[in-house]
Amino acid sequence: MSDVKIGAYICQGCGLGDRLDTAQLAQVAQRDAKANVVKEHEFLCSEAGIKMIQEDIDNEGVNRVAICACSRRAKTEAFTFEGVAVTRANLREGVIWVRPDTDEARETTQDMADDYVRMAVTEVKYQSPPTPNQETSYTRDILVVGGGVSGMTAALEASRAGYPVTIVEKTGALGGHAAHAWKGIPMHAPYADPEDNIVDELIAKVEADSNITVFLNSTLSRTDGAPGRFVAHIAQESGPVTDRKFGAIIQASGYRDFDANELPEFGYASNANVVTQTELDAMAKEANGAPLKTKDGKEVKNVVFIQCVGQRSDKEGHLPYCSGHCCLTSIKQAMYFKDANPDIDTNVIYTDLRTPGAGGEDFYRSGQRKGVTFTKGVVSEVVAEGDRLAVKFKDLILDEDTVEIADLVVLATGMVPNSGVDIEAIAKPADDEEEVDADGEVEPPQVELPVESILNLSYRQGPDLPHLKYGFNDSHFICFPYETRRTGIYTTGPVRRPMDAQQAMEDATGAALKAIQAVENAGKGRAAHPRSGDLSFPSFRREGCTQCKRCTVECPFGAIDEDEERYPQFNEARCRRCGTCMGACPVRVISFENYSVDTVGQQLKNIDIPDEFEEKPRILVLACENDAYPALDMAGMNGVEYSAFARIIPVRCLGSVNLIWITDAMNSGYDGVILMGCQKGENYQCHFVKGSEIAHIRMSKVDDTLQSLSLEPERVATYEIAITDIERAPKLINDMAETIEKIGMSPFKF
């Protein structure tokens, strides 16, 4: 590192000069951390301050910059310098704002600041400025899988933005599930009547758009590559396989109806006059405004709509969720009858009526005005009553069992996503033993895929996108909409979560924007969400690799394959830069240019560790940069105090934490270690999906290490932190300080 020249710049603004001895900080940077250029400034983020730093870069050869001022989350644009590595010492939010301004606290507050300066200069010493991959060839074409409402909308929006689009639809016509409907739920004020189905209009727009290519009766036989350079093998029915290159993929494969044959109590299989919502809309489309009749041609005088049939139910085989559109669809279909003949009795039996969207309540009120009856009740069965139907239910308002006679019964059966293979449910061999080849290597289990694959990905991790809850494709609908665990592939519409047509159109617009962003990031060699724009990329020392495959298996995004010699093969465009592979590596051969085992390990080793007689413990906090670190920053902004003995190092994801950091910290004399990551599990908030979960699994085994060192297990703790935990996160630090006070200092103090 002979060409490294470090500049450390210490700010005196925002009260730093009043609370801290900045001259001492400068001395620490120069004497202890060996910075080559050290300067103080009254306001580093001012035009004069930025100019001073840039002049040192241009004229003094400074190529590593340590900004000792505010949090790395503040003033990011001001402190961005081209061609150099930059890091930050958080002296404002992380020191003076979390400590009381008293004479008694002055010494420990200064100690905190001194350590953060040492840490920043040491960190940047082991960093290199990331450079983009020079081989980032890419195409701007976008592939949309599925030609329903969401797929066509995504294609049209991407096309309007200037990106060529190809739609692959497995059936012989565009339109998807919505094409079966006669009318649609209203999307415009006054939300009083069913509107013309939007499908025909969307199809006409797609067919008229020269920027959109459509493959009908086609599927993907294989999908290779990565963002910017996917290769899709499009298999046409009774025709050739066409290979096309794409920069991003939008999966809009939609849904299918829950099979009403699985619900014998509702009489669907035994009586032709029990129909699903989809079948009724097809009947209405065929009638085209004429009075609707039963399937055997009889006049309908009474029709009953039963909500939540086989859904919102904990019974085995039922759908545990609400399908989002069913209540509005029943209101719409009840109006088919009322608009044709107001004397027809229409009764919607529901447990909870849900009408989402801007016009949902207005549409419901319009149904009431037209004479649609809404009954709160639970239907137990539907049976034949002569040539009519008897709907038996409990009226939840009157608290009594009752029966309604109907000519036609319509079942709201709900939606099942067309999400492809659940790759995480693919079982191992029946004897639960791993098969080993002649070289002693574990062979992946050979199993028959349970359902039709949508994407047929060539990824080592499986042919389709991972599923989240209830079979929907993994795309956290609150925190990270459209994002999946396969970079550059985005989901939209009912394959992502239950929704109606209007929501699907809005959803598709968002997915199109995400796909465009992925294309452009791939073309510049940059990462996608959440480290959008990051140019760093993992590399590894081949000579030190043991081929353990932990990095390959643990990567949440399928970014690591294996080459012919079974060494890891990193795919830059798929990589999200979380560092989970780095945390997984037992021999520490994986690193990034600006984030590595050394950039963190050297920081924790260069913190001043007082001996046991000074009664100044040290607590290492490894905080996820996405939730935990912002929570601690906001604690400072709100004046929430925490222990002066804590030293916080932000990490990209808890999944990037290598156990060597914990071992080094304990051996260096730290008294406690806290890991703060995002929420894991089904309702995960981890920006890298699995990182926090993987870290918790790793840390569950750290007790053995502590016992081998004769240390108490209480010295290491792992927590799930939300970005809103601005009171809780500091309290956990203070709790650890109290624990150390009870159990005593570490015996490893020097």
Considering the domain boundaries, does residue 353 fall inside one?
Answer: yes
pLDDT at 437 over 70: no
Count structural domains, the chain.
5
Q: Which of 465, 498, 523 is the last residue of a domain?
A: 523
- pLDDT band, residue 434 (cuts 50/70/90): very low
Q: Are 141 and 225 in contact (CB under 8 A)?
A: no
Considering the domain boundaries, does residue 294 fall inside one?
Answer: yes
Residues 366 and 223 in one domain: no
Exposure class string for 477-504: b at 16+ Cβ within 10 A, else e? eebbbbbbbbbbbbbbbbbbbbbbbbbb
Q: Cis ω on the peptide bond leading into residue 530 (within 30° of 0)?
A: yes
Residues 227 and 261 in one domain: no
Helix 103-125 vs helix 597-605: crossing angle, to nearest 10: 150
Compute the mean pLDDT over every residue in the chain, rounded to the nearest whole number. 92
Q: What is the CATH number of the domain that holds 321?
A: 3.50.50.60
- pLDDT band, residue 440 (cuts 50/70/90): low
Considering the domain boundaries, does residue 198 fall inside one?
Answer: yes
Q: Which of 593, 616, 640 is the last residue of a domain?
A: 593
Residues 2 and 122 in one domain: yes
Q: What is the mean pLDDT of residues 427-445?
A: 47
pTM of the model: 0.89
Please state, in angstroms and rounded to a whole number, the distance separating the CA atoms of residues 646 and 606.
14
Domain that holds residue 691: 598-750
Could you tell me where the beta strands, DSSP code E, fall in 142-271?
Answer: 142-145, 165-168, 183-184, 195-196, 212-215, 218-224, 230-236, 241-246, 248-251, 255-257
pLDDT at 449 over 50: no
Residues 616 and 627 in one domain: yes
Q: What is the CATH number of the domain that holds 580?
A: 3.30.70.20
Considering the domain boundaries, does residue 619 fall inside one?
Answer: yes
Residues 153 and 178 in one domain: yes
DSSP assignment letter at 179: G
pLDDT at 659 over 80: yes
Q: What is the CATH number of the domain that holds 640?
A: 3.40.50
Residues 617 and 470 in one domain: no
Residues 302 and 381 in one domain: yes
Predicted pLDDT at 430: 40
Residues 175 and 203 in one domain: yes
Please state, in angstroms and rounded to a whole number, the distance separating the CA atoms of residues 676 and 720.
6
Predicted pLDDT at 612: 78
Q: Are 53 and 81 in contact (CB under 8 A)?
A: yes
Predicted pLDDT at 428: 44
Residues 8 and 50 in one domain: yes
Residues 338 and 372 in one domain: yes
Considering the domain boundaries, does residue 137 fall inside one?
Answer: no
User: How would DSSP label each residue in 60-94?
Assistant: S---EEEEEES-TTSSTTTT--TTSEEEEEE-III
Q: What is the mean pLDDT of residues 19-38?
A: 97
Residue 225 is encoded by which pair of tokens?
């590559």
Q: Are 43 and 97 in contact (CB under 8 A)?
A: no
Residues 274 and 164 in one domain: no
Q: Are 720 and 687 in contact (CB under 8 A)?
A: no
Of 192, 195, 152, the C-alpha closest to 504 is 152
Considering the domain boundaries, does residue 136 fall inside one?
Answer: no
- Residue 717: how many other CB atoms lie within 10 Å: 16
Residues 381 and 268 in one domain: yes
Helix 659-667 vs helix 597-605: crossing angle, to nearest 10: 20
Please state, in angstroms and rounded to a whole number, the distance separating the CA atoms of residues 284 and 339.
12
- pLDDT band, residue 706 (cuts 50/70/90): confident
End-to-end CA distance of the chain: 29
Considering the domain boundaries, does residue 622 fall inside one?
Answer: yes
Q: What is the mean pLDDT of residues 263-285?
A: 95
DSSP assignment letter at 497: S
Q: Which of 492, 523, 554 is the last residue of a domain?
A: 523
Q: Which residues contact 316 (CB under 8 A, 6 or more apart)?
A: none
pLDDT at 104 over 50: yes
Considering the domain boundaries, does residue 443 fall inside one?
Answer: no
